[in-house]
């Protein structure tokens, strides 16, 4: 329920208890610096998504590097971020249900809070709660630009909803949420770009229709780690939400760059540290990191820096490795780093980040919003 | 990190905040009673696996129903169970690493603790720690009877290791851990039974070889919800470890009984309660329960009791439903129950169980060992 940290500051990485979520701090900081420099040169704002890291410690570092604030998906995440000092938050999601809406409206006493809508009744509910709490909420209309998940249709339906927002007491129409989630993991660079260029057309038309109706978009926000250069290129978005860039994962590393090579813009900084707990045969090693240590929804973890070692099966508490002829010995008790298949749900399995530099534990940060699902 | 409960005792299920892990208490209690009656009639002991529920509240109820104690996989789970009053625990797993071994040895001051081994050095490490802490550990030799994960080979290698255990100070050789994990989800009743009958031959031969070497097996333990009647039938095992029976999941419900029908011995008592948070189109509803609310390693969740509604996609915080022509309306804000694909890793995503009876919240139990991965 509330687990002690698996490490102490100053200990060697090899002494960290496992499974543990570790951050290579040099790579992590380089990822933050590279993104900060990139968005400056692109002339666009960056509001990193905290659904990836769920950590006010990381959020504050992103803001210090130039980010305008944070995105999150859940009211509970927003509460943790505000308590940790983040002053400008976009809940890039619909918040439905009286209890949640009340908490969101109350939170706007302490920070600038924006939220997304795709339904007129939800607009009315948000307005009523904000009035009751004496607060103001920024509201973005979410449009579906190809993800086929939430959001109104672009164009006229978005304008109608924006007008309802603009007319609602205690709400301010703040712009459009336009995120093409399905494009993030299209492997080919050209196909991925095309998906965003297609989406941009829908966003541009919607912005124009809103302007024709007298509604200015302060924010046009969206984009992820897989596509943000394309959103920036279109000039339609003025804010990007990329979050995974700080950690990366095995799935994102399958995306290709313009030369058809593995895109190496950001490097892997997040790992699940595991221990070899059984060596039953010459070609099999079993680690203590299974389904409860790394989410497998986007594929199995990948051992880092070990030749000819493959993670072939995850059960609840075990990860089975197959060792090929060129594999290292992997003795019982040996520690190894695993690259998680998907960083966001993997982070949500852990209570602590263990930050490593030069083989030593330098920092321990809580995953403050772990489990903050509502 | 430490999340408030999503409910209060006495509130209606419809008012529980979501996503929430709910237990249908009538079904849960019927599952416990049915298993207790079954193991009594089979003349076998039951040591339910706490890796499923991670809860001392549930463990105590299982013990009250006749269970001899609990299994778990991690030292952290054992600590939570002992603190919650469980007095007899088998860690059905190898514990490797000084820090973990020390905690395990220390815990044996407070409860009877057994642990599994498949390596001679690990036997020596356990012995040294138990001596240092002035405790005694029961030790089982794990044999691989077809799961191809941990464990020594049956027969002579198991005897050698058992002799090492028997000779080690502060350790008692307690028997065999023999779990055929791969057989649990073989769909056909006959094929599943055959896998266990094959495994039983290996266990029987190993027990005989141990006896020939003067080593009696107090415990021959294993079996899961998918196979325990077969282990009992062989007369080789004297203890079963079935754990999922108390909750069930979508994956276990695909197992067939002897008539080729869905096995209905145990009914679904565990659900993820979700809210419809977006209704963008006539045939699509989006819920607030995605990858961080239900583990999808064994398949997507299944909406319970809703005709023609299919959960078709899980993203981090969203679950997308497709509504067919006969589907109910599913208005924005409506709550629905989802059957998780796999109960164990789903439970590990939540901090609280919300126990429901007759539509009302009757109990709230912590998932006390959630995240206790080390």
Give per-residue pLDDT as tens, B208-267. Answer: 999 999 999 999 999 999 999 999 999 999 999 999 999 999 999 999 999 999 999 999
Chain B residues near residue A342 by CB distance under 8 angstroms: 291
Q: Using the beta-carbon criterion (under 8 Å), do B275 and A96 form an inter-chain contact?
A: yes
Q: Using the beta-carbon criterion (under 8 Å), do B291 and A277 form an inter-chain contact?
A: no
Whether B331 and chain A come into contact, CB under 8 Å, resolves to no
Name residues 243-282 of chain A within 8 A of B (Cβ).
275-280
Chain A residues near residue B277 by CB distance under 8 angstroms: 93-96, 150
Nearest to B351 among A1, A149, A293 (CB): A1
Q: What is the mean pLDDT of residues A197-220?
A: 98
Q: What is the mean pLDDT of residues A113-124?
A: 98
Task: Inform me whether the pLDDT recorded for A155 exceeds 90.
Answer: yes
Q: Using the beta-carbon criterion (under 8 Å), do A97 and B333 form an inter-chain contact?
A: yes
Nearest to A100 among B17, B122, B372 (CB): B17
The fraction of chain A above a pLDDT of 70, given in percent, is 99
Encode pLDDT of A169-193 as tens digits.
Answer: 999 999 999 999 999 999 999 999 9
Q: For residue A4, give the nearest of B247, B79, B307 by alpha carbon.
A: B79
Q: What is the mean pLDDT of residues A95-99?
A: 96
Q: What is the mean pLDDT of residues A40-55?
A: 97
Residue A66: strand, helix, or coil: coil
Helix H or strand E segment including A13: none
Whether A18 and chain B come into contact, CB under 8 Å, resolves to yes
Question: Is residue A140 within 8 Å of A90, Cβ to Cβ?
Answer: yes
Q: For residue B337, give the nearest of B247, B208, B244 by alpha carbon.
A: B247
Q: Using the beta-carbon criterion (under 8 Å), do A332 and B148 form an inter-chain contact?
A: no
CA distance B80 to chain A (A): 9
DSSP A78-102: HHHHHHTT--EEEEEEE--SHHHHH
Strand pairing of A219-222 and A171-177?
Answer: parallel
Chain B residues near residue A296 by CB distance under 8 angstroms: 297
Whether A8 and chain B come into contact, CB under 8 Å, resolves to no
Whether A193 and chain B come into contact, CB under 8 Å, resolves to no
For chain B, which ranges sit under pLDDT 50? none
Residue A1's pLDDT is what? 56
Q: Using the beta-carbon criterion (under 8 Å), do A118 and B278 form an inter-chain contact?
A: yes
Nearest to B373 among A19, A100, A148 (CB): A19
Residue B3's pLDDT is what? 87
Q: What is the mean pLDDT of residues A314-318?
A: 97
Task: Inform me whether the pLDDT recorded for A2 exceeds 80.
Answer: no
Question: Is residue B77 within 8 Å of B372, Cβ to Cβ?
Answer: yes
Q: For residue A178, give the nearest of A134, A217, A122 by alpha carbon.
A: A217
Burial class (CB in 10 A: 0-12, 13-18, 19+), A197: middle
Helix H or strand E segment including A196: helix A189-212
Taking the whole predicted model, whether its pTM rises above 0.95 is answered as yes
Size of interface A-B (CB pairs under 8 A): 190
Nearest to B93 among A94, A314, A317 (CB): A317
Residue count (chain A):
374
Chain B residues near residue A369 by CB distance under 8 angstroms: 1
């Amino acid at each position: 329920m509330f687990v002690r940290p698996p490490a102490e500051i100053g200990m060697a990485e090899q002494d960290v208890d496992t499974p543990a979520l570790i951050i290579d701090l040099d790579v992590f900081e380089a990822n933050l610096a590279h993104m900060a420099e990139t968005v400056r040169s692109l002339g666009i704002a960056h509001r990193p998504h905290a659904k990836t890291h769920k950590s006010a410690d990381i959020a504050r570092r992103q803001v210090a590097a130039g980010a305008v604030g944070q995105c999150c998906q859940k009211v509970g995440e927003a509460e943790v971020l505000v308590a940790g000092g983040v002053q400008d938050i976009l809940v890039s999601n619909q918040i439905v249900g009286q209890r949640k809406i009340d908490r969101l409206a109350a939170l706007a006493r302490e920070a600038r809070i924006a939220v997304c809508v795709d339904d007129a009744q939800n607009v009315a509910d948000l307005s009523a709660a904000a009035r009751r709490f004496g607060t103001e909420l920024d509201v973005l209309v979410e449009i579906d630009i190809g993800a086929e998940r939430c959001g109104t249709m672009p164009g006229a339906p978005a304008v109608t909803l924006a007008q309802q927002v603009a007319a609602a007491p205690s709400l301010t129409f703040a712009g459009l949420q336009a995120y093409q989630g399905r494009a993030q993991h299209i492997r080919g660079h050209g196909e991925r770009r095309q998906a965003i260029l297609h989406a941009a057309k829908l966003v541009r038309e919607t912005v124009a229709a809103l302007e024709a109706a007298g509604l200015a978009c302060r924010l046009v926000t969206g984009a992820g780690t897989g596509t943000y250069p394309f959103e920036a290129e279109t000039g339609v978005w003025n804010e990007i939400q990329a979050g995974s860039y700080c950690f990366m994962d095995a799935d994102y590393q399958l995306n290709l760059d313009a030369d058809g090579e593995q895109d190496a813009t950001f490097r892997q900084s997040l790992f699940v540290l595991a221990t070899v707990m059984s060596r039953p045969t010459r070609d099999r090693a079993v680690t203590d990191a299974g389904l409860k240590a790394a989410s497998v929804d986007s594929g199995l973890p990948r051992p880092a820096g070990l030749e000819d070692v493959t993670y072939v099966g995850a059960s609840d508490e075990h990860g089975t490795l197959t060792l090929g002829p060129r594999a290292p010995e992997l003795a019982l008790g040996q520690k190894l780093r695993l690259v998680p298949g998907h960083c966001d749900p993997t982070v949500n399995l852990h209570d602590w980040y263990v930050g490593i530099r030069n083989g030593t534990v330098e920092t321990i940060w809580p995953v403050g919003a772990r489990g903050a699902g509502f």
